[in-house]
Structure 1
């Protein structure tokens, strides 16, 4: 079966209006078969309020998957070498887990997991680092934190045992500058064709997309381009990919 995985990133009281707009838009295409990536305290200035917690619980009760999306989404690490290049060119100071050691990554993961699970009353679906960027130590901490699923830009995997559940680039958009908007529009147009044979297609949207009509149009065209892919939950991947003997031994 071909699957379509949709997600809304940066779900936070700071972007409540934009999240509502994106949810209304995505529901036209996938109903409630989508994921939300929850930031517990965006840039250490937007904690989950009681009113927003009630909305999160309602969405979770409707069947929307809730992922932990870092803690603050703010990169407060000093970087060198390849990590410095990623921090500069792949995100605007938001690669929170790119420079963390194991202990700090694990502490933030556990805090985020506890908060999301307390708010929604159910287990977090998994963890996805801000900007899909991880240090090696942060990747290692995922299993220790007890997450069933994780994702980067190229794959979805099970941290315990290391099973890769899906491969292929996420279709997503960048809104923070006109050149990035244009490049993401071009990339989405290409990926709509290239990913047709893929068993799993991932589409991710961000609050900033709501401010650019061209990006919203591209989002709609992208969902419409995959009529043979059925809207699915990330958790479906765990049931679909068989556990190998090697994965069992590794776990």
Structure 2
């Protein structure tokens, strides 16, 4: 485990599942963040969300993402379809991960060749748009060993899991704990707040902290307000907002 470089404490605001159909969910929240001023965001972009949102067919949304880059935000690759369309799971463990924990673990069951093909397709799309890309985040943070091997072959600088950022290609791990909600139902939202409040206290002195937002969070006032208030509290504590790439650039090479 690599040690983060000693510096001002930071935070990273990360928008998951970015696609044309999820933009209406995010738009009011993004405007609220823009109104705060000086808070860069990392947008996890899905090239064809659930096989129905090809970015190539959404030029206005692509222009929006270009505008975000011009503001200092970062775009990262977030799967390709964000949907698990691999063969049916085998065994109870795989069934739990792919049917109960999530139906969107696109890269959980892929072999190296399949993972490499999708990653290269995603990077090609970014290249066609002229978007710089340094990072890949697997949907639901689930990566097969084949995916990890594929990532070692590509010109990407990082990937991440809920607790760590990994510098590629050697997967050097850096502590970067993250908060995330499950907002699909009222009881999940209540439990998420309890857990996130506890994690904020636990990680109060952490060098960095990630806020991992999802479109469903934006559909519920309790979740949306929680993220905005938590961000403001962390900024008031003196944390510096950074994109993932900017944060990683500050970390010492072992």
Q: Fold match, TM over 0.5? A: yes
Correspondence 1:141-160 to 2 at 5 A: 141-160=150-169
CA contact (8 A) 2:75 2:131 kept: no
Correspondence 1:232-251 to 2 at 5 A: 232-244=242-254
CA contact (8 A) 1:188 1:218 kept: no
Which consecutive aligned stretches of 4+ in structure 1 deviate over 4 angstroms post-superposition? Answer: none
RCO greater where, 1 or 2, for CA within 8 Å and sep 6 or more? 2
Write the distance in 1 (CA, Å) between the matches of 2:144 and 2:37.
Answer: 33
1:43 matched to 2:50: yes
The 1:136/1:196 distance shift into structure 2, 3 A limit, reads same
Which has the larger displacement, 32-41 or 233-242?
A: 233-242
Write the distance in 2 (CA, Å) between the matches of 1:122 and 1:46.
Answer: 18
Aligned to 2:221: 213
2:171 to 159, 162, 167: 162
1:223 matched to 2:231: yes
Q: Secondary structure at the match of 1:144?
A: coil
CA contact (8 A) 1:8 1:22 kept: no
1:193 to 195, 198, 201: 201
- Structure 2 stretches lacking a partner, 5+ long: 1-7
1:11 matched to 2:18: yes
Which has the larger displacement, 228-237 or 34-43?
A: 228-237
Shift of 1:32: 4.4
Q: Secondary structure at the match of 1:238?
A: helix
Aligned to 1:86: 97
Could you say what the CA RMSD is over the residues aligned between the two structures, in angstroms? 1.7
CA contact (8 A) 1:150 1:157 kept: yes
TM-score by length of 1: 0.90
2:128 to 96, 118, 137: 118
Corresponding pairs, count = 241
- Structure 1 stretches lacking a partner, 5+ long: 245-251
1:64 matched to 2:70: no
